[in-house]
Chains A and B, each alone.
Chain A
Amino acid sequence: MQSATTAPAIEVQNLSIRYGSVTAVADVSFSAAAGQQLTLLGPSGCGKTSTLRAVAGLERPTAGVIRVAGKAMYDGAAGLNIPAERRGMSMVFQSYAIWPHMTVFENVAYGLRVRKIGGADLSDKVRHALDLVKMGAYAERNASQLSGGQQQRVALARACAFSPTVLLFDEPLSNLDAKLRSEMRIELRELQRRLGVTSLYVTHDLEEALAMSDQIVVMRDGLIEQNGTPAEIYNYPRTAFVADFVGSANLVSGAVLPDRSDKDRVAIRTDDGQMLVGATHGRPFGQNATLSLRTVHLRLVSELPAGAANIWPITIRRTVFLGDVTQIHVGWGGRELIVRQTVADVFTPGQTAFLRVDPEQCILLEG
């Protein structure tokens, strides 16, 4: 039980959202600590946006509890649902929602005016917010004349203008081009740090989530797949879905060899006879197990390396040049594995080589 002083900034318990016969969010619980960014990550339709909008007050959940800074915003059992306009949070929309009939200044000032702030105080806050996003020079410009990136900054300024403690982001960068996106990621992160706000961030972009978040909640079909830090999620995926969604992974299943396995290590034999040793990461295993091998953790060498575990001869099937990495498809036993490496070793199709992987980097998946 947490006391009021260390209460999480955002707390969601057993949230479920149903539209008629469609369940958007089944049973979701998570909490974000103050000053942190928690990202809801997942493919479209996984329920992340619905969850965000429920926290904002724009959707009415079916059941559960939502608390912000210890105060209940929604409580299904008690019949409590505070409308969005009284929750005191701030939101950046995917489409920016910049009001085209107002100037940039007026857009940013909107929330302040609603709070009856006026005069010099108002213009100070607005200018401050605009400077934060480097849009100070555009204050008197008509908002409909801005480019996409500029609108996004204004949306950000508007969200920050009245100094909220909680910021909600609904895929704010998805409409920008790749270069701009990576720049804005960093800026956003800086901004949050500086303001000390708690952020609930929704995206389907993996890189974004990994780069910006303190905590990632991976969602699929209305349920949480995994909840952890970026490193945790990347290095120790819980399920096959997470393994393949967060980075690229090869999934290898096989029968457990109990005499070679213990509480830290698990050894499996695949159907075509390959033996593989992996780390359990404290997870239980039964008769069969699936291991996740990240493509970037697999190593190809032309000569037989030293070592005992996880070394196999393979045949090169195909190489694909992707710029920063080269993707190599290898035949391993009866199936294909994908290797990604930055080293521009030249492998030609048909060539034989050796594949090795550190057992610590073969992660046992749950379930």
Chain B
Amino acid sequence: MPRMRVPTFLTQYATMVIVIAVVAVFVLYPIFYLFQAAFDVGLPDSRPPTAYGLDNFAKLLDYQAVLVNTLVVTFAATLMALVFGFVTAWILTRTDVPMKRTFEQLMTVPYYVTPLLGALAWSFLGAPESGLINQLWRAGGGSGALVDIGTPLGIAWVMALFEGSVAYVMISAVMQSMDPSLEEASEVMGASRLKTIWRVTLPLVAPGVLGAALFVFAEMLGSFSAALVLGTPARFYVITTAIYQFVSQYPPRIPLAAAMGVSLFAVMFLMLYGYRRVVAHGHFTTVGGKAFRPRVMRMGWLRWVMFGICASYVVLSVVLPVGTLIFTSLQKLAVAFPAASNFTFDNFRQAFSINAVRSAMVNSLGLAAISASVGVALTAFLAWIIQSSRMPGRGVLEYVAMFPQAVPRLVFAFGMMWAWLVIPLPVYGTFWILLIAYLTVFMPLGLRTISGVLLQLDKSLDECGQVCGASWTHRLRTITAPLLRPGLVAAWLLIFVASVRELGASILLMGPDSKVMTPAIVEAWFSSSSELTAAMALIQTAVIAAVMVLFHRLTRRLAVHGV
């Protein structure tokens, strides 16, 4: 006689509701407070708001310059980043440039050289009066300034160099997903190489590139470091730096900041919506389908031109900035042609003695390790639910979990700051709020990475385990986890680095006991000399680099064991 079984549908449904609710609270709660503050037109300093209205948005009209600045800088930076990304992706996937493998690895380094570092270094290089480039220019007989890094173009340049390394990765993936036989067909018909590129290749990669453009644009909207370091001294504000200013002023203009945050959020949201429509047809993974081996074009002597292009990108984004920081940090007062007596190790000595450096470094690394570990576990769990389970409501969960992507980090942290202030739990100003912020803000990153890995996992490997009689936990342990390991490791590393280099969210949420590196460097820059700041930035870079190398060593050994 067949047994009656309680349908698991109900328990699955209940679990799903709980999971969505928890994620939604963390993701949407700050947004709610953001909106609440934006519509607050009542008495200042009183919470909850005494009156609601649209006045704050009306005041935004007074700050049109800020809105325009933001758009100008974002467009310019996106364009430049796309150019960098497209050219380098093309060169490295389609031509026979020498030292290709080395370059492919080097192309990701700007991501690890945090945009703050890049901005600092380029301010030392490109400040109109004191910039090293301009000093050299004047010494060589030029007048005035060759480069002014404080202009919108200068800021966009720095943004594109460092935050646009994402463009390279995305466009490169698009290039690799194009079937080479399509081009071969064109050439067989008699079209020249150039014509083939124009009529076959470009139209084929266009949707993918457009998708990358939208994504990069959205990221640039939320950019903070470059505008903070380069724009603020030149009285040039974008929305993120304006929000930061409003919050730090006395008295702080929270509702105005919130209104700006909401407007930025709206634009970013639209961009990402467009991105999903164009590229993924609703799914958030960027590349689907097979990866081909694209045809490599023989370039002849042009190879060396390509080499030069790639090399100059690496120089501009890595070598030059790091070199400048070293050069600056070793001087008492940084000039282009220092006398021998100008060199000193004092800055480093001082940097190590400042509490902020020592404890901030340890804090950053610890916090990053925890966020990466918890984050990977969390997003792996979510990714599994969204992709591999058959629970109802998966689409809703995916949408909610990816939502933080649409919010600029600084704005999100603003909402968090405002939200958690009223919670009686001792979270505000401690590590916990930073941890929560990182986990929430990096959820999309982890989800994207792990989902990509899960997609490549053949479902039948798990089904076979099922048929062999293994329970779900047994299969997880013996089949899924080992196969996921490379992907999990990659996600861990990504979240780790993202946590360490994070600025926009951390700067608003950092407390005295929870100092972290990147905002600490910014604080130091505000209140001490540029030479000291350069020393701190270098120490940070060296520590991160050491951790990365160590990590790569460790994971390479794991990979060798036949995973």
The residues of A with any CB-CB pair to B shorter than 8 Å are: 56-58, 72, 75, 78-81, 83-91, 93-95, 97, 99-101, 110-111, 114-115, 142, 144, 158, 162, 168
Say whether B458 contacts A114, CB under 8 Å.
Answer: no
**For the complex, is B101 an interface residue (Cβ under 8 Å from A)?**
no
Say whether B469 contacts A97, CB under 8 Å.
Answer: no
Residue of A whose beta carbon sits closest to that of B461: A97
Residue of B whose beta carbon sits closest to that of A142: B562
Neighbouring B residues of A90 by C-beta, 8 Å: 467-468
**For the complex, is B529 an interface residue (Cβ under 8 Å from A)?**
no
Say whether A80 contacts B466, CB under 8 Å.
Answer: no
Say whether A101 contacts B460, CB under 8 Å.
Answer: no
Neighbouring B residues of A115 by C-beta, 8 Å: 469
Number of A-B pairs whose CB atoms are under 8 Å? 77
Residue of A whose beta carbon sits closest to that of B468: A111
User: Which of B59-67, B68-76, B349-357, B476-484 faces chain A?
Assistant: B476-484
Cα of A91 to Cα of B463 in the assembled complex, Å: 9
With contacts A89-B467, A158-B464 known, what are 14 further pairs, Cβ within 8 A? A58-B463, A83-B466, A85-B468, A88-B469, A91-B464, A97-B460, A99-B461, A100-B562, A101-B482, A110-B465, A114-B470, A114-B474, A142-B562, A158-B468
Say whether A101 contacts B463, CB under 8 Å.
Answer: no
A110-B468, A114-B469, A144-B562 known; A93 vs B463 contact (CB < 8 Å)? yes
Neighbouring B residues of A95 by C-beta, 8 Å: 458, 460
Neighbouring A residues of B2 by C-beta, 8 Å: 72, 75, 78, 80
Say whether A85 contacts B5, CB under 8 Å.
Answer: no
Say whether A110 contacts B478, CB under 8 Å.
Answer: yes
**For the complex, is B563 an interface residue (Cβ under 8 Å from A)?**
yes
Say whether A81 contacts B5, CB under 8 Å.
Answer: yes
B339 to chain A, nearest CB (A): 61
Cα of A158 to Cα of B467 in the assembled complex, Å: 11
Those of B443-466 within 8 Å (CB) of chain A: 458, 460-461, 463-466
Those of B295-317 within 8 Å (CB) of chain A: none
Say whether B562 contacts A79, CB under 8 Å.
Answer: no
**For the complex, is B387 an interface residue (Cβ under 8 Å from A)?**
no
Neighbouring A residues of B7 by C-beta, 8 Å: 79
**For the complex, is B192 an interface residue (Cβ under 8 Å from A)?**
no
Say whether A101 contacts B562, CB under 8 Å.
Answer: yes
Contact for A114 among B4, B468, B482, CB less than 8 A? B468
Say whether B461 contacts A79, CB under 8 Å.
Answer: no
Say whether A79 contacts B4, CB under 8 Å.
Answer: yes
Neighbouring A residues of B469 by C-beta, 8 Å: 85-86, 88, 111, 114-115, 162
Contact for B466 among A84, A101, A144, CB less than 8 A? A84
B67 to chain A, nearest CB (A): 46
Neighbouring B residues of A101 by C-beta, 8 Å: 482-483, 562-563
Interface residues on chain B, number (Cβ under 8 Å): 24
Neighbouring B residues of A158 by C-beta, 8 Å: 464, 468
Neighbouring A residues of B466 by C-beta, 8 Å: 57-58, 83-85
Interchain residue pairs with CB less than 8 A apart (27): A58-B463, A58-B466, A72-B2, A75-B2, A79-B7, A81-B5, A84-B466, A85-B469, A85-B471, A87-B467, A93-B460, A93-B464, A97-B458, A97-B464, A99-B464, A100-B483, A101-B482, A101-B562, A110-B465, A110-B468, A110-B470, A111-B468, A114-B468, A114-B469, A158-B464, A162-B468, A168-B467
A96 to chain B, nearest CB (A): 8
A126 to chain B, nearest CB (A): 13
Cα of A162 to Cα of B3 in the assembled complex, Å: 27
Neighbouring B residues of A78 by C-beta, 8 Å: 2, 4
Neighbouring A residues of B461 by C-beta, 8 Å: 97, 99
B377 to chain A, nearest CB (A): 20
Cα of A57 to Cα of B150 in the assembled complex, Å: 65
Contact for B5 among A79, A100, A114, CB less than 8 A? A79
Neighbouring B residues of A162 by C-beta, 8 Å: 468-469
Cα of A81 to Cα of B4 in the assembled complex, Å: 10
Contact for B479 among A88, A91, A99, CB less than 8 A? A99
Q: Which of A56, A85, A144 gathers most chain B CB within 10 Å?
A: A85
Neighbouring A residues of B464 by C-beta, 8 Å: 91, 93, 97, 99, 158
Cα of A76 to Cα of B471 in the assembled complex, Å: 23
Per-residue CB contact flags for chain B residues 1-44 toward chain A (1 = under 8 Å, else 0) read 01111010000000000000000000000000000000000000
Q: Which of B7, B468, B482 gathers most chain A CB within 10 Å?
A: B468
Neighbouring A residues of B4 by C-beta, 8 Å: 78-80
Cα of A317 to Cα of B464 in the assembled complex, Å: 52
Cα of A75 to Cα of B1 in the assembled complex, Å: 11
Residue of A whose beta carbon sits closest to that of B467: A91
Contact for A56 among B465, B467, B482, CB less than 8 A? B467
Neighbouring A residues of B479 by C-beta, 8 Å: 99
Cα of A94 to Cα of B458 in the assembled complex, Å: 12
Cα of A58 to Cα of B465 in the assembled complex, Å: 11
